[in-house]
Amino acid sequence: MSMETRLLLAFLLMGLVLFGTQYFYKPPPAAKPPAKTQGSPAQTNTAPDAPPVRKTPAPEVTEGAEVPGQIHADREETLAIDTDYYHVEFSNKGAVVRSWILKAYKDHNGKPLELVNPQALERAPAPFSLAFRNAPANDPNSGLFMVKRAGNEVEFEYSDGRMRVKKSFAFQQKSYLVAVRSEVTENGALAPHTLEWRGGFGDQSISNAASTEHAVYYDQSNSKLYEKDAKEAKNGPVSFSGQFSFAGIEDQFFAGVFLPEKPGPMEITVYSDAAPAAGGGDQPRVGAAVGGDGVNAFSLFVGPKDTDLLGRVDKKLESLIDWGWFEIIAKPLFLVMNWTADHWIHNWGWTIILVTVVITMALFPLRISSMKSARKMQRLQPQIKAINEKYKNVKLNDPRKQEQNEELMALYKREGVNPVGGCLPMLIQLPFLYAFYRVLAVSISLRGAGWLWVHDLSQPETLPIRMLPVILIITQFLTQKMTPAPGVDPSQQKMMMFMPLVLGYMFYFLPSGLVLYYLTSNLVGILQQWMLNRGATPAPAAVDAKPAAKRKK
């Protein structure tokens, strides 16, 4: 197998790894119960702040007792909660959230990161709307709730004379956890319900934001995280229930998940909501509703998918970070890079370069072995050509084809040549390439990390002409020119010169941090190849073109 053929095989494998995993690496679907939950109607915009509201006095509700009189506000109002991490805006109409901003993060337009999709608020229920298995006669999501606030704690209450609803949110000043509680009674009996987050979640400024969003739940019965996108509910809402450690919604770098305060059955319903897309028209956006009891009590995590942070809240939350097939490489790679960036270099671009240099130097012995194998193959080319000429008219299904293979293998064995030895460095590099790809795809630390002219290493470059892929193409041409190509037909060599262009096109749309990794690997490889070529002696020319088996002693 020639070096060009091996290079072509490596490129095909890289493409398969980088682009094929999204189709093949999918969690197994969970069983679907027959029950489906219907969503509540869309919410309306809030009005400006209003004077204090009044409450009709009423005794506490006990099971079986008569429902008290009406409890409601006179006007619609909004209120804001500010902590070190959040700016959250509530509306008392439905007791819902209209805005949830993470103060420590910016979107790709440089604005404060808004987790609520504003484009969906007119189409889908606002976050923390109520959903019921059986729609009530009067929808409490359109009711004006009475508000009580004490510092960073807020309580909403509403009653129409039959149904009584309470919601409470307790924020901490320096925490991504919020205590959330909801209680619904109808005619004095508890009414099962769920709390919704609909119309998408997370950073809406990135390209194709919908593709990064999922409803998620962690099933304790098989210790597995399940991800569901909007396609799951294309024919209507779909519910899942079981012993879940948490359930909620996520995007690429952030999550909003509910952790039950007490063990027990939990329900999540997945929705597909049509919301306006950036390029015009509507686009399906995933939604989730969590709960299932008459009284739901949760610790709500809304924040970044940071490994250390998630582990401190609940070890099972670390499963939200998908390291992919090669987790055994990707996670240690991230930990090394994270420590290097935090304690030494303080820049993720230079960290990628340094770690790549270390990895490439560690693989240098394999490159030496590959070159030795290539030179041995170069020396054997006349004998290989003679064997191939002997069987050139033999078809693949002819029994004599097996004789040809046996003669070739006997030659390789006698000369101590491994015909696929030159592929080993390329094959070893593939897991590292995929590991870098996963680190860039899931690491919140790399989101927004810049390097020289690159603004975000987790995304493609923003320049009109992306420079890193262009430089990569040049280095790949140089690598092919310097690498020995024993016995390759000139026409085949010309064809293989197109491979750097194919590689450059493939990397043109990938995260710039991944391009930087491969470019650095190429540059170090060019230096290594120059050293090997300079120190190596030319392969001796063969004088006998006949098969070794027919040489005369």
Q: Which residue has the higher pLDDT, 494 or 15?
A: 494
State the average pLDDT over residues 228-240. 93
Predicted pLDDT at 35: 42
Predicted pLDDT at 272: 94
pLDDT above 80 for 421:
no
Predicted pLDDT at 536: 56
Q: Count other C-beta atoms under 10 Å from residue 324's C-beta.
A: 18
Residues 6+ apart with CB under 8 A from 424: 366, 369, 370
Query: Which amino acid type is present at position 166?
Result: K
pLDDT above 80 for 498:
no
DSSP string, 535-553: HPPPPPPPS--S-GGG---
Residue 448 pLDDT grade (very low, low, confident, very high; cuts 50, 70, 90):
confident
Residue 273 pLDDT grade (very low, low, confident, very high; cuts 50, 70, 90):
very high
Q: Note the pLDDT tens digit of each residue in 359-387.
A: 888 877 776 776 666 667 777 777 877 87
Residue 37 pLDDT grade (very low, low, confident, very high; cuts 50, 70, 90):
very low
Q: Is the full-model pTM beyond 0.75?
A: no
Q: Note the pLDDT tens digit of each residue in 147-164.
A: 999 999 999 999 998 999
Lowest model confidence (mean pLDDT) among 99-103, 264-268, 379-383, 546-550: 546-550
Q: Note the pLDDT tens digit of each residue in 302-329.
A: 999 999 999 999 999 999 998 888 788 8
Angle between helices 364-390 and 348-362 in degrees, nearest 10: 60
Predicted pLDDT at 40: 38
User: Measured between alpha carbons, how far is 21 from 288 in angstroms, rounded to an integer?
Assistant: 25
Predicted pLDDT at 52: 40
CA 203 to chain centre: 13
Q: Which residue has the higher pLDDT, 401 or 68?
A: 401
Percent of the chain with pLDDT over 90: 41
Residue 456 pLDDT grade (very low, low, confident, very high; cuts 50, 70, 90):
confident
User: Measured between alpha carbons, how far is 239 from 76 in angstroms, rounded to an integer?
Assistant: 32
Q: Which residue has the higher pLDDT, 490 or 534?
A: 534
Predicted pLDDT at 304: 95
Lowest model confidence (mean pLDDT) among 8-17, 215-224, 444-453, 536-545: 536-545
Predicted pLDDT at 418: 67
Q: Note the pLDDT tens digit of each residue in 539-550.
A: 444 444 444 444
User: Measured between alpha carbons, how far is 272 from 288 in angstroms, rounded to an integer?
Assistant: 9
Percent of the chain with pLDDT over 70: 77
What is the overall mean pLDDT for the chain? 80
User: Measured between alpha carbons, how far is 537 from 534 in angstroms, rounded to an integer?
Assistant: 8
State the average pLDDT over residues 209-223. 92
Domains of the chain: 3-20+350-372+421-535 (no CATH), 83-322 (2.70.98.90)
CB 476 within 8 A of CB 504: yes
Predicted pLDDT at 132: 93
The DSSP bridge pattern shows strands 244-250 and 214-219 to be antiparallel
Query: Which of 514, 506, 512 has the alpha carbon at shortest distance from 461?
Result: 512
Question: Residue 466: which region, alpha, beta or left (left: phi > 0; alpha: psi -120 to 50)?
Answer: beta
Q: Note the pLDDT tens digit of each residue in 321-354.
A: 988 887 888 889 899 998 999 889 899 999 999 9
Predicted pLDDT at 90: 97
